[in-house]
A and B are shown apart, each in its own frame.
Chain A
Amino acid sequence: MSTATIVSLPDQSTARIPRMNFMSKEKGLLSWLLTGDHKRIAMLYLVSITFFFFIGGAMAGLIRLELLTPQSDLMATDTYNKVFSMHGIVMIFFFLVPSVPATIGNFLIPIMIGAKDLALPKINLLSWYLYMAAGMLGLYAMATGGVDTGWTFTTPLSTHYLNTNVITTGLAIFIAGFSSIFTGLNFIVTIHKMRCPGMTWFRLPLFVWSNYAASILMVLGTPVLAITLVLVVLERTAGIGVFDPAKGGDPLLFQHLFWFYSHPAVYIMILPGMGVISETVSTFSRKRVFGYTAVAFSSVAIAVFGFFVWAHHMFIMGISNYSMLVFSLLTMLVAVPSAIKIFNWAFTLYKGSITFETPMLYSFGFMGLFTIGGLTGVFLASSGTDIHLTETYFIVAHFHFVMVGGMLMAFLAGVHFWWPKMTGRMYPEKISQLAALVTFIGFNFTFFPQFILGTLGMPRRYATYPPEFQVLNVFSTAGATILGVGYLLPILYLTWSLKYGEIAGDNPWQATGLEWQIQSPPLTENFPAIPIMDHEAYDYEWLEGQKEKVASV
């Protein structure tokens, strides 16, 4: 590995964390719990989602352990069903959906557009409280018996055939949905109304664009999930039959309503991650993102097309041939903007001046794994191949490549990249590079065998399986162990760095975003005075000019 680096830190013997910053402004627990500061709320979110990530991760560990052998020997099938259901619910609604937007996005979007805060600070705090209330309710449901619907709540299974905490969990997701609606709404209003002078739409960092696209999906999709869950809860309590074929209801209506949210939800999860990659790839190759406009519009295109592909989850359920054609075609189309992004990032490297700090390593991991995740998505978009591959481990592997290989890698890239800005201190470089590598290797070990398992026909959500699938499952479990280490490492060294990390200074990466032109950690009001944006995004020549100006003073 090349030791060349762009990191330039202030002289450690004299440097200090600025005395006035958003963390030191007020002390005490209450000052955090009642804060309106988007940065503090982001920190609250960061701690909470990490907590839920490890709960979901523990569930994943249990799943992999159970699947070590073909029999259900570690736990009964019922327990296994609960574990994978809770794994899905926790990871999707309490980790992936809020992950990048609510933490990194919350912290940075106002700064990136040159505003003092999000437009609606109280709503922002409210959304965290809703998230926590939902999370606690979810944990309560888990502690008092759990739920075994799968995260998809398929009717009539969830409404008439299970005796677990479906209502409590449904309510938890309902509340979490409103948390996500409020975050999205806040972002859209902020991006529309709070940009500083000179910050035109096409000077916005691409991170803002992708979060904007994700916010549209949150605002328009989540309410449909909310009403669907209300119907499930009503059906369960009163048994009125709106999804029950025995009473004249249509269970496919549930599928339509559920996937109308839950497919766009996939883009809610991945789009903000794509935004992170645009920032890191540009910074570590010292170059403007190749084809800025195309990357910006591809985010919006994904958001728009993303709303019209939901029925591809129902190809084998007996939708009409015409719907199949339309939804299959549109799903193919939504793959194109993703391909555009991948190539544009790759070409951002072209003629750059590249260094390989941890965020960049995670970004490379993202690009590789997301490419695989995206391409295998095409296998499922093509209706003929979908018949055999859907509902098997192929689909499990596919969305883990996108969600874990893609989104989680991007999340870690983002956390490392902005860690110095958030805390004022650097993470330790060598060990974090190692962690990135371990994560990448562990991930491939865990999930690549699952593609083969799926092609061989192993169904998902099976507590027991035919013995010939064991070897690949053992590989997968072994990989999961490595992956687990890869995720524990950052927790350890990032916590360590809070006290012992090197002082980062304002702009350790020599990056161009507005967030890097202010102190780390930032002031409560972000900017001493509202900035004026007088250059394009990713303008490294402007940055050089600024340095010379300072030097000549």
Chain B
Amino acid sequence: MSHISPVLWQFLVKWLTNFALYPPQASKIAPQFDALYFFMVLVSLIGLTIVILLITSFSIMYRQKAHPVPVQIEGSTMLEATWTIIPLGLFLIMFVWGALIYFRVYTPPANAMNIYVVGKQWMWKAEHPGGQHEINSLHIPTGRAIQLTLISQDVFHSFSIPAFRVKREAIPGRYTTVWFEATTPGTYHLFCTQYCGTDHSHMIGDIVVLTPDDYKRWLATSTSGASLAQNGERLFASLSCTACHNARPDARGPNLANVYGSKLTLANGQSQLADEAFLRDAILNPSQHVTQGFAPIMPTYQGQVSEDGVIALVEYIKQLNSDYRIQQTTNTTSLLPENDGKATPTGQKPAGQGMVNQ
């Protein structure tokens, strides 16, 4: 083999060692996706073979030398109906099958663990419920449904994990979700697949799938001392949210205990489910989401709280399950340094969580 140039040789070796037709299957949905994918590949190959066979065999049989006099044929309704109905049927199967997978990918189970992901030019920030932060990587355990709640701080991004066969756009101004359950420990690619400017191709990272035990260890070593909800609580207090949302009978704002997941009646009479998106909107555009019986006096926090801050607040509100918790927060407010309702600068916070506007 010495006569093959080293470059070429290296190239061949590289090809043979890396050769793959599809990425590793590392999530529960991946084999289901691949089943449909290979079904479609098969149908396509058969279709293509039929077309090529027709063209080549007709070309040989009816070439001018072999068949000098053409026979004029107007058409055939039977034949045309056949190649209308058969592809249509196949396409409809693919449509239904595809839709089933689509619904599965974008409908998280109720018990999924929620991780928030914020995209910005050009990095991914992940916020674990335990307060762990990661940039351009995501540690997750196997065997557990993980829901990602995505948002972008600037332009459209797209969170793509080929090994899991899932992808979702991170959009500025609204939450999107996707979920998956990892099956095989390992490190997989994370790509931003929506073009987002200069360093689009550097907006990549690692998805690190750990066994549940390893994951526990990772959680313990990467903890920052305060959970996401605790960070939210601190922010809740420092923004003086407690001035109105204090669960007292004469409070100017609605009681937030157990509000998450409940059905609210808004001032305009509409009924509204209080989900993450609603909570986020109510902080940033309060006057569009006034609860019945309250005056539209809440100021907007648009531009004052970063997306990370909003996430912490939302997570805190989600965890509020009793008036007592709110009163506790109210009480701690007096212990905090004075502030003017704006987010506190990083230095003032004990753990420096980066929850504030940068």
Contacts and interface: CB of A to CB of B under 8 A. Distances in A.
A350 B58 contact: yes
B161 to A, nearest CB: 8
Contacts of B52: 368
B349 to A, nearest CB: 25
B95 A329 contact: yes
A371 interface: yes
Interface in A372-393: 372, 375-376, 378-379, 381-388, 390-392
Interface residues of A, number: 98
B38 to A, nearest CB: 10
Contact of B195 (A150, A378, A381, A464): A150
B63 A387 contact: no
A392 B160 CA distance: 10
B226 interface: no
A2 B67 CA distance: 13
Nearest to B303: A246
B171 interface: yes
A368 B50 CA distance: 11
B72 interface: yes
Interface string B135-161: 000000000000000000011101010
Contact of B194 (A321, A391, A474, A541): A391
B44 interface: yes
A383 B102 contact: yes
A328 B79 contact: no
Given A354-B63, A383-B102, A474-B11, A461 B75 contact: no
Contact of B70 (A160, A287, A329, A466): A287
Given A246-B302, A352-B58, A372-B48, A81 B197 contact: yes
A321 B75 contact: no
Given A156-B154, A353-B62, A378-B91, A342 B171 contact: no
Nearest to B201: A462
A336 B87 contact: yes
A162 B87 contact: no
A364 interface: yes
Contact of A340 (B67, B80, B106): B80
A542 to B, nearest CB: 11
A292 B199 CA distance: 51
A384 B193 contact: no
A325 interface: yes
Given A77-B202, A381-B95, A321 B103 contact: yes
B165 A460 contact: no
B80 A291 contact: yes
A5 B11 CA distance: 45
Given A385-B33, A474-B11, A349 B62 contact: yes
A382 B101 CA distance: 10
Given A154-B155, A156-B172, A391-B193, A344 B80 contact: yes
Contacts of A291: 74-76, 80
B92 A332 contact: yes
A379 B40 contact: yes
Contacts, number: 302
B70 A346 contact: no
Which among A317, A329, A364, A452 has the greatest number of chain B C-beta atoms within 10 A? A317
Interface string B7-18: 000010011001
Nearest to B168: A316
B195 A461 contact: yes
Interface in B195-245: 195-202, 204
A77 B199 contact: yes
A367 B166 CA distance: 33
A48 interface: no
A163 to B, nearest CB: 10
Contacts of B36: 382, 384-385
Given A161-B155, A291-B75, A77 B201 contact: yes
Interface residues of B, number: 92
Contacts of A464: 201-202
B118 interface: no
Interface in A335-358: 335-336, 339-340, 342-344, 346-347, 349-356
A53 interface: no
Interface in B56-104: 58-59, 62-65, 67-76, 79-80, 83-84, 87-88, 91-92, 94-95, 97-104
Contacts of B104: 384
Interface in A458-495: 459-466, 468, 470-471, 474
Nearest to A541: B72
B84 A387 contact: no
Given A246-B173, A368-B51, A461-B195, A6 B64 contact: yes
A326 to B, nearest CB: 11
19 contacts: A4-B64, A81-B197, A154-B156, A285-B70, A328-B95, A332-B94, A335-B87, A339-B84, A339-B87, A349-B59, A353-B70, A354-B67, A384-B104, A387-B167, A392-B160, A456-B22, A457-B191, A471-B18, A474-B11
Interface of B: 11, 14-15, 18-23, 33, 36-37, 40, 43-44, 47-48, 51-52, 54-55, 58-59, 62-65, 67-76, 79-80, 83-84, 87-88, 91-92, 94-95, 97-106, 121, 154-156, 158, 160, 162-163, 165-169, 171-174, 176, 189, 191-202, 204, 285, 302-303
Given A81-B197, A156-B172, 16 more contacts: A250-B173, A285-B62, A291-B76, A291-B80, A294-B75, A332-B92, A343-B51, A349-B55, A354-B63, A371-B47, A383-B95, A383-B102, A384-B33, A388-B33, A391-B194, A452-B21
Interface of A: 2, 4-6, 72, 77-78, 81, 148, 150, 152, 154, 156-157, 160-162, 245-246, 248, 250-252, 285-288, 290-294, 315-318, 321, 324-325, 328-329, 332-333, 335-336, 339-340, 342-344, 346-347, 349-356, 364, 367-368, 371-372, 375-376, 378-379, 381-388, 390-392, 452, 455-457, 459-466, 468, 470-471, 474, 540-541
